[in-house]
Structures are given as C-alpha cells and as structure tokens.
Amino acid sequence: MKVLFTILFFIFLFGYIFRLLLPYIMRRIMKRIEKKITEQFNTTTNRKQTRRENQVIIKQTEKRDKKVDKDIGDYIEFEEEK
C-alpha cells in the first residue's frame, strides 16, 4: 500500500511540476520560432529591395543528360487485335 501511495505521489508531483513549467517551455519555443520567422522575412525583403525597378533576372540551370542505360529492358512490339 505504501508503494502505491509513493507512485501516485510522484505521478501527481510530476503533473504539478509539468503544469508549472509548460508555459515557460512553450514561451521559449515560441520565441525561437518567432526569431527564425523574422530573420527569414528580413532576408527575403532585403533581397527584394536590392533589385532595381523593372530589372529582369533570368536564372538558367545546367542542362543535364538523362542517365538511362540503353541495354536495360527489351522492346516489345504490340499488335492490335479486332
């Protein structure tokens, strides 16, 4: 019986401490997220401000050849049946 009360005591104690610490933990997490979002927003707005008005930027990617082995697979000719 004493073991049961000890286990229940620790469960309630853990729940009480968790309720006290949860707002603090959530505040810290939200501040970190807010900081990341504002940094991201500031970098994107800075990029937009550095561009001149009516400036066109064309980004071209490298043309890559398809990497397909020609020896793989067999050609199967299908015929239509009526």
* C-alpha distance from residue 80 to each of 8, 23, 74 (Å): 76, 70, 19
Q: Model confidence over 25-82: pLDDT tens digits?
A: 999 999 999 999 988 888 776 666 555 666 777 777 777 776 666 667 666 777 877 7
The mean pLDDT of the chain is: 81
pLDDT at 75 (0 to 100): 67
The model's pTM: 0.43
For 64, the 3-state DSSP assignment is coil
